[in-house]
């Protein structure tokens, strides 16, 4: 099966054999994001972020809402399960907060992330993670870190152990979107690279240092999402131009560039007269093939 959701306030669970919805769930608000856990426990519910301030958990086995997480005071734009801790969940909202949850607990959230690190782990929901909407979340593959993205044009790195802001400076990244922006991080790579959509571009940053590595250009309108494939080492992106692009490492182009650099390096070491003769020989060389040649 697979799951889809949208601004029509519906979450659909699809039967891949028949390609028809097996279940349809109706919500009060527009759905900005849903997420299914990739942890070992396959019976975890689907978490749903919508334009209401509650986070809804849906159990597809029973076909009902099993839990509501209350703590945000405005629309919830993004939600993600931890890839390692089965019951650990993060949510981001228009109230500038990122809340961490243990869904086994009937109490409020475990922690509200504070960009200034002024609150301890025991504090619940007083800290502000960003100075604007929080519309993007992504855990690293080991579950030790959480990256958050906000309309304050900031990307922040947090430790999930104690909820501390690592104060990594990624610079300003333009983000004016009022909906979820899905970004992703490489898996089992050193250094870890985060792919962040910004308007019509995708920026690549070193997670540990904040250094900008590259910019991917190809979309003709705003990029909404990107997902990294760990086995093929490919990146998939979707945008408002209605295109889905596949990005791969161009090994052939890289090899050609290395060969060009090597040949120029060899030529630069030759005496001037030798380089002139080689240039003349290259210019006058017959590069056409003949049918009479064997």
Least confident of 30-39, 105-114, 276-285: 276-285
Quick: pLDDT tens for 143-170.
999 999 999 999 999 999 999 999 999 9
CA gap 24, 40 in Å, rounded = 25
CA gap 176, 159 in Å, rounded = 26
Residue 250's pLDDT band (cuts 50, 70, 90):
confident
Task: Give me the residue spans of the domains in the chain.
Answer: 2-181, 253-279
Residue with tokens 């979820």: 180
* Residues 217 and 198: beta-carbon distance below 8 Å: no
What is this structure's pTM? 0.81
Tell me what pLDDT residue 190 has: 85
Q: Could you tell me the fold of the domain covering 2-181?
A: Methylamine Dehydrogenase; Chain H (2.130.10)
Nearest to 82 by CA among 70, 95, 100, 94: 100
pLDDT above 80: residue 139: yes
Burial class (CB in 10 A: 0-12, 13-18, 19+), 58: buried
Quick: pLDDT tens for 54-99.
999 998 877 777 788 999 999 999 999 999 998 899 999 999 999 9
CA gap 12, 205 in Å, rounded = 34
Q: What is the mean pLDDT of the chain?
A: 86
Tell me what pLDDT residue 95 has: 96
Q: Which helix (H) or strand (E) segment is 283 a member of?
A: helix 272-284
Q: What percent of the chain stands above pLDDT 90?
A: 63
């Amino acid at each position: 099966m697979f799951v889809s959701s949208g601004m029509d306030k519906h979450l659909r669970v699809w039967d891949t054999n028949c390609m028809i919805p097996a279940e349809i769930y109706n919500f009060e608000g527009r759905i900005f994001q849903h997420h299914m856990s990739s942890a070992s426990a396959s019976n975890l519910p689907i978490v749903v972020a919508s334009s209401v301030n509650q986070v809804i958990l849906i159990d597809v086995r029973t076909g009902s809402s099993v839990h509501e997480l209350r703590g945000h005071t405005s629309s919830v734009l993004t939600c993600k399960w931890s890839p390692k801790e089965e019951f650990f969940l993060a949510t981001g909202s228009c109230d500038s907060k990122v809340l961490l949850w243990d869904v086994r607990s009937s109490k409020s959230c475990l922690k509200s992330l504070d960009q200034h690190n002024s609150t301890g782990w025991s504090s619940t929901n007083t800290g502000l993670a960003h100075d604007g909407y929080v519309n993007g979340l992504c855990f690293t593959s080991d579950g030790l870190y959480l990256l958050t993205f906000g309309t304050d044009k900031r990307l922040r790195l947090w430790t999930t152990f104690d909820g501390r802001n690592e104060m990594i400076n990624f610079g300003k990244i333009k983000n004016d979107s009022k909906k979820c922006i899905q970004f992703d991080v490489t898996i089992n790579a050193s250094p870890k690279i985060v792919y962040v959509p910004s308007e019509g571009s995708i920026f690549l940053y070193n997670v540990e240092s904040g250094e900008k590595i590259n910019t991917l250009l190809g979309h003709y309108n705003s990029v909404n999402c990107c997902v990294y494939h760990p086995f093929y080492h490919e990146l998939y992106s979707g945008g408002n131009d209605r295109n889905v692009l596949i990005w791969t490492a161009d090994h052939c182009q890289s090899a050609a560039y290395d060969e060009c650099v090597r040949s120029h390096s060899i030529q630069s070491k030759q005496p001037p007269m030798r380089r002139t003769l080689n240039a003349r020989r290259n210019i006058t060389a017959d590069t056409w093939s003949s049918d009479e040649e064997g």
